[in-house]
Structure 1
């Protein structure tokens, strides 16, 4: 039986199922998704803003806080290859190297500090899209990555809110970016990135 990533049966799922093994022993995907949503919404309150530098370990810590009540592997890099439809994510053996390149590029851009809003939108859209292809966790990549980018954008001196973007917009923007079209992702961040934060 294939899981939702189309990767076939793997050790993260219950045998003969596409439901991820979890600490609550939930065997229904819809129920598990709701538990994920509720538990991560509570856990996110524990994550405080930290200034850069950021790295893969920082991202892993966000994931650990969000999902440790549900998954034994929270905060750990995935060990299986995954894909969604025609989108094939980075193979596990290359994830650390590829993520390292992305964080290095952001560091060389001074974590986007000093950029105007238009420059920030373009820079964030590119970095977000690149990191999304790494997809370092078996589940929960989107929520984890959005928190990292909240911290990046706040550190760069701008307001950020995800509420104006529908799930299908995120999916479309990520697929387009995977196919080298950053336009939809820039539109997403045009909605999400607000005014400069007043000192």
Structure 2
């Protein structure tokens, strides 16, 4: 029996022999798939144009599909299995749409964070990102799709953003802390990534 990489049980997304995610490239080696996925999603990301609000789960699904459509048949589709990682259980599949709607509804109620001073923008992004990461709507590629979405949110709010300012381990710890609604490290991430107003 092949367990998924999150350790929750048999995984229909994986090849039963290799345990590697089924993919359009026919790759059976996890490292090779990861490298191909990074390369192809980077090319795809460079072709994605800015889109103004409203943003919602469907918009996030569209971004995921654009990023990973060359790699996975299920790109852009909500996952159908429950997953957990390092003791953290992500949103139950039956609650993905409901919980995502709450978060996007809150962002809409705050006018997509437009007009906020930078400290408030940092704080609101940290909370929304941390909460959406807990929803984890896709089987793989959640972080990359979310970062692309938040690029659009931050740019729409009038600021530059540069993810390369943060080390991967800092990202990981920020997401771990956000599981228990501790957003301090996530705020530090966004404080490093969000730049000056674009109008300056």
Deviations, residues 1-49 of structure 1 (Å, cap 9, x unaligned): 3322122221100004331000111111111000100000111122110
Indicate the residue corresponding to 2:121 in structure 1. 120
Deviations, residues 38-78 of structure 1 (Å, cap 9, x unaligned): 00011112211011000100000000011111100011000
Report the secondary structure of 1:148's partner residue. Answer: helix
Residue correspondence of structure 1 range 5-154 to structure 2 within 5 A: 5-154=6-155
Distance 1:19 1:173 in 2: 27
Alignment RMSD, CA only?
1.0
CA contact under 8 A between 2:174 and 2:186: conserved in structure 1? yes
1:174 aligns with 2:154: no
Distance 1:88 1:170 in 2: 18
The CA deviation at 1:87 is 1.0
Larger displacement relative to structure 2 (6-15 or 112-121): 6-15
Distance 1:4 1:18 in 2: 8
Distance 1:109 1:194 in 2: 20
Larger displacement relative to structure 2 (1-10 or 170-179): 1-10
The CA deviation at 1:177 is 0.7
Distance 2:183 2:19 in 1: 32
Runs of 4+ in 1 over 3 A off after TM superposition: none
TM-score, normalised to structure 2, is 0.97
TM-score, normalised to structure 1, is 0.97
CA contact under 8 A between 2:51 and 2:152: conserved in structure 1? yes
Distance 1:18 1:26 in 2: 11
Distance 2:68 2:80 in 1: 17
Distance 2:169 2:20 in 1: 22
**How many residues matched?**
199
Report the secondary structure of 1:119's partner residue. Answer: helix
